[in-house]
Structure 1
Amino acid sequence: MKKSSSTYGILVLVIAILLAVPSMQAQVLNKPTAADNPNLAGNSAWTAACASSGFNEYFVNFTWNIPLVNSNNEFVLELSDANGNFGSPTELARVADKNTVFDFEFQFAVPNTIRGENYKFRVRSTSPAKTSPASDAYPMYYIDYNSPLLISENGSGSIPSGGAIQICDGGNVTLKPHNIPNADTYIYNWYRSGTLLPQKTASITVSTPGMYYVELDYGSVCSGSANTLSNTIEINNGSSLGIAINGANNVELCPGDPYTLQASITGMGLTYTWYKDGSIISGPTLEGDSLALNTNLDGFDGSYEVEIEGASACKERSAATTITSAGTFEVTLINEENIVLLPSQSKNLSVTTSAASPSYQWYKDGAPITDATSNSLTIDQVGEYHVAVTENGGACSVTPINSAVTTVVSPDSFEFEIAYVGSYSSCESLDATLSLSAINAVGDGGAKTNVTSDLQSSFSYEWRLNGAAVSGETSKTITLSDHEKNGTYTLFGSLDGFNATSNSLNVKLAVNQALEISANGTVLCEGSDPIVLSSTQNLDGETFEWHKDGNVVDTSSITYTATEIGVYKLIITTNDCPVVSNEITVRAFNESLLVLDKPQDLIIIMGETVTMTASGADSYEWFDYNNNLISTQDSYGFQEEGQYLLVAHFGNCTVSRVVTVIFRDMFAIPNVITANGDGINDLWILPNTYSRDQEVLVTIYNERGKEVFSQTNYENNWPQSTSTFNKSSMIFYYKITKGGKSLKQGTITVIK
């Protein structure tokens, strides 16, 4: 085929650029393709990977062209994510003995985390660093669970008898597998009576009758081979029967009175479950339609319900019946339960009661006190005190109710307990509040009684730091906000000749200062200047540590030279607390660090400007097709056709990219050509949008619908001969598709 003068000019330009920039000469790495497994019968390449612990051996074919790679080169097979993206690829295989083999297979195993329909491969060489185009997309799954699932209501593990669940009055039920570990990490296919449902989660809430079952979604190819299809649960609709408890909704009983709760529905072969205050107390019991109450037990009063379930009825719970005790009353202690009695002191004890006609008897150490028959008592001796209250009226005869016991002690000594108030973290918080949390009276045998509420307002206080009094701090609480006052704090107190000392609390407040480090670069490159880290703060006289990846690497140099990749930071210790700097990440040089926001083959409209932006490098140089420097910015606006060169600098290392710019065709797809051999309109010329694209398929049919031409990467070369046209005017039909999707279709009239 004869090349036009413009095409020849472009080829000359490309050759000139390659000669001017030797580093642009490169090996051609072709996209990898799935290959057959030589260890299995047959010779067909795989189309989907359904791996498991029982089988996980796959092959990918890879080809490449000269020039030869370097002797230390390795070829690396990489896998994309499930969407075909290589932002964080997974390495599958690596070979170092194929540097003179231009056609070979990688063997790999599918990682056990792989599940998806659109995985792609690519091959990367390490010396020189080049990357192949991505492969076609493949379904790939690691089938780590391949047993039938079992589903039940809410995943309880209880499969109903006959596999049927009845739901009532517009209700619903949730189905979930109960025999698969980590159920929520999988994707599912749920079915109702053979119809695939849209839900993909581990559980499904349903209200429509039908036969429900599920399988793990291992994609369009692998799901069937995984054998995870579950049991079937049949969902039926039903109606409630209106269950209730016979009798009044509120019943008052005396202790010992007999009483039986009776369900309103009986004799239908139902199962009954009885509840008190929301908790099950009886059942589920077949035909258990009544419940006898034991009113001799304390706490028999409460809220009672009954629930029925069975083949002839929906699960249904009744309204509550409230049972109250007619003889119940309350006795409430007004004073503290623990009282410290200092010498020459007296204390008053008292109670209140809800009894209608009460009488009182006070006790000391278990013995009744003579004439102590009112609701209050004044005491001046240590011991244990309580009062018995008797109800002398009402419908029921009940036993007396004792109040809580008040313990009265005379202490040998006192001790304080102090605690942090609110959130406090050592060397992180900028302030801290300490406060008295408890005062304990200590008796003869070392027994302790909490008397905080009784005596906290009576003590005088003094806070001490490292044993010395803190000036002005004489309350039970101290608030600190100065890291210069870090140390050990205690609280001292006195009352009527008694002295008390608290436990110790250590306070380390953070130093409120910013620490910044900087570097003269972040990319390690052979031959480049060293990467030096330095601090904005003068480190003379400071205690500090340089860290790499969390490990100390230097404690003496005020600057640090990074010779390895990693995450670096500086920590200064001030007032026993660390001050941590920002982090700087040092990366290894890699051509993938240069990122372009547009494809290197750029199609623009004549008269318009399209800007391409680069990122990731330290500086940039843009050259036109005559090797003239046209910009040093990170972006450039293209207006003219041609080939351009971008050189990105990473320290002393560079990455080059060739950008090809062509104008977008503004003409429509022609519907008439004159195939008469005069060189004018002899060929059917498509716009650049549809021609010379490996993913675009052009197909032409004659007037009877027979295919006469089909080609991807269409070269504007139809018809190749005029001899096939036996009429002066013939009509053909064309269809242009990409990835199976129709882009354009119409007719072509060929005039001979």
Structure 2
Amino acid sequence: MNKITPIFFFCFILFLLPSRSSVYAQFSIGNPSLQFSQICANSSFNTFSVSFTFSPSASLSPTNQFIVELSDATGFFSNPTILATTNPGAVTTSPATISFSVPTNTAGEQYKIRIKSTGPVASSSNSLAFSAYYKIQDSQFTINNFKSTATYCAGGSYLLTIDNPGTGTNDSPLKYPSLTYNWYKEPSLTPIATGQTLTVSQPGTYYVKTNYGSCTSDSYSNKVTVNEATSATSTTITSSLGNPFCSNQGSTTLTTVSGNSYQWYKDNKIISGATNQSYITNQSGLYSVTVNYGGCVANASIDLKTYSFSSSINIPATNYIDTESAETLSVSVTSSASNPEYKWYLNNNIIPNANGSNYDVNTTGNYKVVVSQTSGCVSSEELTFTVQALMNSNATEIPNLISPNNDGVNDTWIIPQEYTSGTETEVLIISAIGEIVLRTNNYQNNWPENATNFKNVNPVYYYIITTKDGQTRKGSVTIIK
């Protein structure tokens, strides 16, 4: 048997080693093929993929893993982020596709991807650059405490800030430190500044967006109109419920532009304690405010009105009908109300089926009609009147007792017709303390015409009746409650 000498065996091994190294050196990974044009990720969508080729497949070790790496926002791999790693030996066929998700702090325009393998160790070239953003905050937010106006003094400036945490359900982007911003001044679509605040020294309308590059986003602020003020500058006041406002909807909030301090006035009189940017009221009137900007002041005013409609009735407050002859009094209401509704009442009891603007009265008593506006500013108003029985005034006696209790009987002082309207007779009624309560040459049997609040129990009044030819009758009238 021939023996292989040690020297020959050693040379054989040396011959084989270079051949094996050559196999590993020939393994390569092709350029990554991005399956997207840009990345716009959020909490509900964060799955993307990259494809690549490799060869020869036979060179892969059974434990090989492919790794997807992401560069920094400028395209450098000095400290890459691993996006995905395949299981050992899971990928053996070329081409291959790997899915991945991006981190929540992803934000930039020059990201790149590369593919690496572990067995054999190899790396692809870098992919084409692409923009990538994770929209960690994707809802509207507020600046300037959601106030739409602001003012600065001439030669000064105003600081616009993103609200944090904002008001109500405002999801302030300041809660996410990785975010950046772009400020704009209308109408330009080119950013004028970045950062969390903006110092404004020129009048205009400003707003800010979270910087998500070309990704569509709902992360933007309200707009603020900034004005320059000088001494005696006039500003504005807005009413939250409009002007006129509907008082049935509650109070309206009057608001002026932002300043250092405020003082409100109503009808040119100072309102004590009204020193905030807003003032709440449910009353109409002339409101004004003085705004101090710390170096200059401005004034504003608003003639605040409550929305109302007008209604009128075609009869006087007190009326008479001849109940013995079944006389009827036709009552008609005219109203400017929108889609009006009518309800008629007799002695505070609703009259069935009386729901029109006209009603024929044939019964004495106290009436009212409620007119309601049913669209727009829903509101109502009441019109009242009294109907009394017409008394027979042919008697020669002048009554000395009346009972004005609105029962339709003896409610007013009825005197003979020879002293009433058309006879040019003067009727004078004097209180017990000498005060003249009625003096007329055209008496219509209607005293007391309105419900009188008599201070004394059964007060006594004195009358002097003087006819055209100088005849006089005197006496007293007692009011019985």
Shorter-normalised TM range: 0.3 to 0.5
* Larger CA Rg, structure 1 vs 2: 2
Higher relative contact order (CA 8 A, sep 6+): 2
Q: TM-score, normalised by structure 2?
A: 0.44
Q: TM-score, normalised by structure 1?
A: 0.29
